[in-house]
Amino acid sequence: MTRSALIIGGGIGGLACAARLVQDGWDVEVRERAAGLPRTGTALGMWPSALRALDAVGAGDEIRARGHVQRGGALLRPDGRRIASVDVSARSGTHDAVRLVARPTLLRTLAGRLPDGVVRFDSEVPDVTLAGGAHDVVIAADGLGSRARQALFGDAYGIRYTGVTSWRGTVDGAAEHASETWGNASRFGITPHEEGRTNWFACVRAPWRAVAKGGDPAALRTAFGGWHADVRRVLDAVEKAGGEDVLRHDLCDLERPLPSYVRGRVALIGDAAHAMTPDLGRGACEALVDGVTLARELAGHRHVEDALAAYDALRRRPTQRIARAAAVMNRAVHTPGVAPFRNAALRLLLTVGNPPA
């Protein structure tokens, strides 16, 4: 007898989970409130664990071919002097290098592993507690502001603002290398993007939902206009394009860690389960691993409840550790006045520590 799953949210984790469940013979329905897949978006770093998850749904080779290899980068001061170098490939404990891939490319690749009609766009699930009657399991992949998380666990597990706002986008012209530049409570990142473009992001402290005076390009110029030449090149390109395609988001994570990623026959994955700041670049990776791990456990257990318990045991503590580490990094980078101590501690960390792959 074919088992069925309802997945709420057609983002990275939801599509990965759907693709693996379809492979295993499940009847899957994905409900996504957006009108379609995004056509624009910045680059995401696919670490080896995420590439292995993509292999499990038959998408790993395509992402490796499409993505830009990132073997390392530089951490810089605003004047361009180097704080430290990061060798990603050497520290990940694997020969599979990190790939930078645009979010739309990743989503299209995952959606391409699904039969027509599995994903229903412009389709919301208003109440997760009423959604599971016709399905063996409900998988909530509905993101940072998850309605499912709120319905199942209450307002105590809502999102909190970190005090840091961010801009991101892409500009014409290829970046020669990846870098992050750290100032006093502010940061600017540059990485290669597809088709010879440059991916960038910028972060500063700001009030919740503050409006930038004079628009986003002017705010970026005020905050970063005196920084080194690579940053100024990006700012020039942003201004030349009139600020088009610049995205701004206040950075949030969860108020407190969830006591479980499972409630009844509902499982939470990705940001719905463990929303984290982007400081370690792991949010998309962990969503992929969540989705594939959950699907694998559902295929490997006769009883859904046993599969959900196994998923929770495998994924909750590791992802919550990463979320805590991201929050610590966010505070370290964006606390005013600590730059000399922060930079020294970072050099020590990169000397003795290894990031998880």
Domains along the chain?
4-68+102-159+256-334 (3.50.50.60)
Confidence of residue 349 (pLDDT cuts 50, 70, 90): low
Cβ-contact 27, 305 below 8 angstroms: no
- The residues, ordered by sequence, that sit 6+ positions from 311 with a Cβ below 8 Å of its Cβ are 261, 262, 267, 293, 294, 297, 298
Q: Where are the alpha helices (DSSP H) in the chain?
A: 12-23, 48-56, 60-66, 88-91, 103-111, 147-153, 216-224, 229-240, 271-274, 283-300, 304-334, 339-352
CB atoms within 10 A of CB 338: 15
Q: What is the pLDDT of residues 288-312, one digit of tens each?
A: 999 999 999 999 999 999 999 999 9
* Confidence at residue 343, expressed as pLDDT on a 0 to 100 scale: 75
Whether the predicted pLDDT of 93 surpasses 60: no
CA distance 357 to 354: 9
pLDDT at 58: 97
- Min mean pLDDT across 91-95, 100-104, 155-159, 235-239 is at 91-95
pLDDT for the residue numbered 2: 87
For 182-237, how does the pLDDT look when each residue is reduced to its tens digit (9 = 90+)?
999 999 999 998 888 999 999 999 999 998 888 999 999 999 999 999 999 999 99
Res 94 pLDDT > 70: no
For the record, the structure tokens of 186 come out as 């502010």
Among 42-56, 105-119, 124-138, name the one with the lowest average pLDDT. 124-138
Give 281's DSSP letter: S
Tell me the mean pLDDT in the region 240-259: 93
d(CA 202, CA 47) in angstroms, rounded, equals 22
The DSSP annotation for 204-269 comes to EE--TTPPPTT-HHHHHHHHHTTS-HHHHHHHHHHHHTTTTT-EEEEEEEESS--S-SEETTEEE-
> Is the pLDDT at 342 greater than 70, yes or no?
yes
Q: Among 50-59, 172-181, 263-272, whose mean pLDDT is lowest?
A: 172-181
Looking at residue 150, what is its pLDDT?
96
Looking at residue 157, what DSSP letter applies?
G
Looking at the predicted structure, is the pLDDT value of residue 353 above 60?
no
d(CA 293, CA 13): 10
CB 251 within 8 A of CB 164: yes
Q: What does the pLDDT read at residue 9?
A: 97
Buried b (16+ CB within 10 A) or exposed e, 52-90: bbbebbebbebbbebbbebeebbbbebeeeebbebebbe
Taking the C-alpha atoms of residue 326 and residue 271, their distance in angstroms, rounded to an integer, is 13
Give the pLDDT score at 213: 83
Radius of gyration from C-alpha coordinates of the chain: 20
Note the pLDDT tens digit of each residue in 34-91: 999 998 889 999 999 999 999 999 999 999 999 988 877 899 999 999 988 877 655 4
Least confident range from 19-23, 143-147, 171-175, 263-267: namely 171-175
Sheet holding 179-182, edge to edge: 82-87, 72-76, 179-182, 186-192, 197-205, 159-172, 247-254
Q: Can you tell me the distance from the alpha carbon of 269 to that of 326, in angstroms, rounded to the nearest whole number?
A: 18
What is the C-alpha to C-alpha distance for residues 196 and 258, in angstroms, rounded to an integer?
A: 41
**Could you tell me the end-to-end alpha-carbon distance of the chain, in angstroms, rounded to an integer?**
38
User: Cα separation of 88 and 116, whole Å?
Assistant: 38
